[in-house]
């Protein structure tokens, strides 16, 4: 005749109030599972069954398999801590490469790959927020051979896609204006204009004109409008001695090879 072995049992409320002996098994007839007792914990430790909401760990969960990659599949949602916000971190033990794929079906929350090179998207990255503009902050550099504009544009007749500096002639620029009204500087042995158009007052002879920094590589031009009867000499970096005529503009051309200014009169 067969022998039937039964353990102590009760519904969930009853089982939760029981403090069993060390190693004692108690059957929860509502949950259809076993509670393992340790002699001190009321209700014991519940063994999970398929279909249960299962809590793994109190602070962190580590999934590891030494012989092969371990897949975590069938996850329909991840509840972040807190009532309205939280952070879920996925931290690979090795640098994440192009073969590491993380799919985020949720509409909110934060996922971080820490201390690794992270690849986002295979062809493009879209940032979108329906209620306001989305800011991309904390970026110190964008590196890579593909860091160019999708559609090449032109800047004053020169093609520009972000891949190299723009050089060459300026075409189709229209009028070129200064950012502010031309300043006035007093004539002196050395003057240092910082704008393309400048008024110069006084009668002191000018020996040297300090070229703007941008002129030192290839040269450039400025326009001096005299408001005083100053002169220029050839003792410095001016190629031609002149006498200013009030209100008659002098076009000064600087050549980086000779490091000289060439006045129009």
pLDDT digits (tens, 9 = 90+) for 218-254: 899 999 999 999 999 999 999 999 999 999 999 999 9
Higher-pLDDT residue of 55, 190: 190
pLDDT, tens digit (0-9, with 9 covering 90-100), for 21-32: 999 999 999 999
pLDDT, position 177: 82
* Range with the poorest average pLDDT among 61-70, 94-103, 177-186: 94-103
The predicted pLDDT at position 141 comes to: 61
Q: Where are the domains of the chain?
A: 9-46, 184-263
Instruction: Judge whether residue 62 has pLDDT over 90.
Output: no
The fold of the 9-46 domain, in CATH, is Seminal Fluid Protein  PDC-109 (Domain B) (2.10.10)
| Tally of CB atoms within 10 A around 238 | 20
Query: For residues 204 and 101, which has the higher predicted lDDT (pLDDT)?
Result: 204
* pLDDT in the model for residue 207: 98
According to DSSP, the residues that pair with 243 across neighbouring strands are 231
The tens digit of pLDDT for each residue in 145-199 reads 556 777 888 887 888 887 788 877 777 777 878 888 999 999 999 999 999 999 9
Q: How far apart are CA 261 and CA 209, in angstroms?
A: 8
């Amino acid at each position: 005749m067969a022998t039937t072995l039964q353990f102590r049992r009760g519904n969930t409320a009853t089982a939760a109030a029981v403090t069993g002996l060390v190693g004692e098994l108690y059957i929860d007839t509502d949950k259809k599972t076993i509670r393992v007792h340790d002699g001190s914990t009321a209700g014991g430790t519940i063994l999970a069954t398929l279909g249960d909401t299962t809590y793994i760990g109190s602070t962190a969960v580590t999934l590891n398999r030494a012989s092969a990659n371990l897949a975590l599949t069938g996850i329909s949602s991840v509840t972040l801590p807190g009532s309205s916000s939280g952070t879920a971190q996925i931290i690979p033990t090795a640098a994440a490469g192009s073969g590491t794929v993380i799919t985020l079906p949720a509409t909110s929350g934060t996922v971080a790959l820490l201390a690794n090179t992270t690849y986002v998207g295979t062809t493009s990255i879209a940032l979108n927020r329906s209620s306001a503009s989305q800011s991309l902050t904390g970026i110190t550099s964008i590196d890579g051979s593909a860091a160019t504009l999708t559609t090449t544009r032109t800047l004053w007749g020169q093609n520009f896609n972000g891949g190299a500096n723009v050089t060459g002639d300026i075409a189709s620029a229209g009028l070129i204006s200064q950012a502010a009204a031309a300043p006035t500087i007093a004539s002196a042995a050395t003057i240092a204009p910082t704008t393309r158009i400048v008024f110069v007052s006084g009668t002191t002879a000018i020996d040297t004109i300090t070229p703007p920094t941008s002129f030192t590589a290839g040269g450039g031009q400025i326009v001096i409008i005299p408001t005083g009867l100053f002169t220029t000499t050839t003792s410095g970096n001016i190629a031609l001695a002149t006498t200013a005529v009030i209100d008659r503009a002098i076009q000064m051309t600087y050549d980086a090879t000779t490091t000289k200014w060439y006045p129009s009169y």
